[in-house]
């Protein structure tokens, strides 16, 4: 994620129970939580500086020496924002690994194949993090997508993260924005923050395209269209 702007960038770990199935969630370790808290505090500060510098640049005349200097400063802070976002994401994955040491993968696979959205989400998360299975990003995307298309909000959010990072699918900010918009429309608390910051890396035209995609995805979900809908496949 280096070089990208994103605050509050995190996946959502299993915290639900499928019928007759426990996800084995624990609280994680204090050390991992402290490390993540420090990184998030740093991220907030970098984001604050980024916003201030961007607002300053927008208020300045074009092509002046001072404007060019501020633009260079903004590029440096932008790089810092991307670096810290990467560290936060890695720390969140480490914490998620600590709180899911006892996933019942065979049962989740059976339930997921039968169409259970919670188990599909849990498999998506397991394949993304390597908990109970070999890490397999494309397989993670597959299960997140199946659950997301059943309107599983956490899967919608995490699918956006996969597109943002280019994990298991080609990196695509338009699809990341669209899936986070869908998740936000369904009440995911973290989606709004991510949308705010990803929008700084997108053109107005890309945002309009993403908004239209999110509307079509929501319509497809409501109409229960199959998972091979061209809107939801990675673009080449």
Q: Check the CA dihedral 187-190-191-196 and report its sign.
A: positive
- Taking the domains of the chain in order of start, what are their residue ranges? 28-99, 103-236
**203 by DSSP, 3-state: which?**
coil
Which residue from 16, 205, 7 is spatially nearest to 118, judged by alpha carbons? 16
pLDDT bucket at 210, cuts 50 / 70 / 90: very high
- Of residues 168 and 63, the one with the higher pLDDT is 168
| DSSP-assigned beta bridge partners for residue 21 | 18
Among 10-14, 102-106, 135-139, whose mean pLDDT is lowest? 10-14
The pTM score is: 0.61
Q: What are 66-90's pLDDT values in tens digits?
A: 998 989 998 999 888 888 888 888 8
Distance of alpha carbon 137 from alpha carbon 110, whole angstroms: 20
Per the CB < 8 A criterion, the answer to whether 185 and 210 are in contact is: no
| 54: region left, alpha or beta (phi > 0 left; psi from -120 to 50 alpha) | alpha
In CATH terms, the superfamily for domain 103-236 is Tetratricopeptide repeat domain (1.25.40.10)
pLDDT surpasses 80 at 51 = yes
Reported confidence tier of residue 9, pLDDT bands at 50, 70, 90:
very low
Give the contacts of 46 (CB within 8 A, at least 6 positions apart).
77, 80, 81, 84
Q: Indicate whether 18 pLDDT > 50.
A: no
Residue 112 phi/psi, 5-degree rounding, is: -65, -40
The more confidently predicted of residues 148 and 24 is 148
| Angle, in degrees to the nearest 10, between helices 117-129 and 137-148 | 160
pLDDT at 236 over 50: no
What is the reported pLDDT for 225? 59
**Which residues lie below 8 Å from residue 135, measured CB to CB, with a gap of 6+?**
127, 128, 129
Tens-place pLDDT, residues 140-186: 999 999 999 999 999 999 999 999 999 999 999 999 999 999 999 98
């Amino acid at each position: 994620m280096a070089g990208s702007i994103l605050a509050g960038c995190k996946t959502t770990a299993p915290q639900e129970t499928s019928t007759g199935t426990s996800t084995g969630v624990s609280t994680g370790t204090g050390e991992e939580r402290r490390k993540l808290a420090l990184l998030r505090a740093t991220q907030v500060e970098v984001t604050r500086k980024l916003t201030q510098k961007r607002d300053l640049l927008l208020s300045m005349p074009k092509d002046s020496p001072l404007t060019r200097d501020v633009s260079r400063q903004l590029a440096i802070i932008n790089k810092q924002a991307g670096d810290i976002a990467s560290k936060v994401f890695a720390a969140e994955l480490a914490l998620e690994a600590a709180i899911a040491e006892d996933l019942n993968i065979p049962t989740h696979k059976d339930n997921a194949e039968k169409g259970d959205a919670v188990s599909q989400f849990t498999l998506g998360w397991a394949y993304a993090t390597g908990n109970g299975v070999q890490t397999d990003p494309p397989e993670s995307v597959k299960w997140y997508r199946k659950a997301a298309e059943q309107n599983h909000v956490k899967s919608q959010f995490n699918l956006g993260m996969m597109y943002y990072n280019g994990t298991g699918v080609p990196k695509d900010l338009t699809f990341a924005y669209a899936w986070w918009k869908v998740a936000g429309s369904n009440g995911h608390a973290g989606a709004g923050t991510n949308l705010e910051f990803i929008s700084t890396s997108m053109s107005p035209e890309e945002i309009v395209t993403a908004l239209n995609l999110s509307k079509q995805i929501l319509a497809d979900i409501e109409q229960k269209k199959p998972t091979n809908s061209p809107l939801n496949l990675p673009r080449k």
